[in-house]
Amino acid sequence: MVTAFFSLFLAVSAFCNAGFDNLGANSLQDYATNPTINLAVAGLIMSGSLGFAVWIDLIQLLRRYIKDRPRNWKLACRPLSNQSRLVLISTTCILLVGTLLAWLLEMDNSKTIGTLNVWQQLMVSFFQTVTMRTAGFATISYTKADFSTNLLFMIQMIIGGGPGGTAGGIKVTTASIMFLLFKSELSGNSSVVFRNRIISNKTVLQAFTVILFFLTMLFVGYVILLETNPNLSPLALLFESVSAIATVGVSMDLTPSLNTIGRFVIMALMFIGRVGPITVLLSLMTKKEKQVSYSPTDISVG
69: pLDDT strictly greater than 70 = no
Look at residue 151 and tell me whether its pLDDT is greater than 90. Answer: yes
- The per-residue pLDDT for range 254-288, each reduced to its tens digit, is 888 999 999 999 999 999 888 876 666 666 565 56
At 106, the pLDDT band (50, 70, 90 cuts) reads: very high
Kindly give, in sequence order, each residue whose CB lies less than 8 Å from that of residue 13, ignoring residues fewer than 6 positions away. Answer: 19, 20, 21
Q: Reply yes or no on whether the pLDDT at 2 is more than 60.
A: no
What digits encode the pLDDT tens for the residues 154-187? 999 999 988 888 888 999 999 999 999 999 988 8
Determine the pLDDT at residue 180: 93
The chain-wide mean pLDDT, for the chain, equals: 86
Predicted local confidence at residue 235, as pLDDT? 94
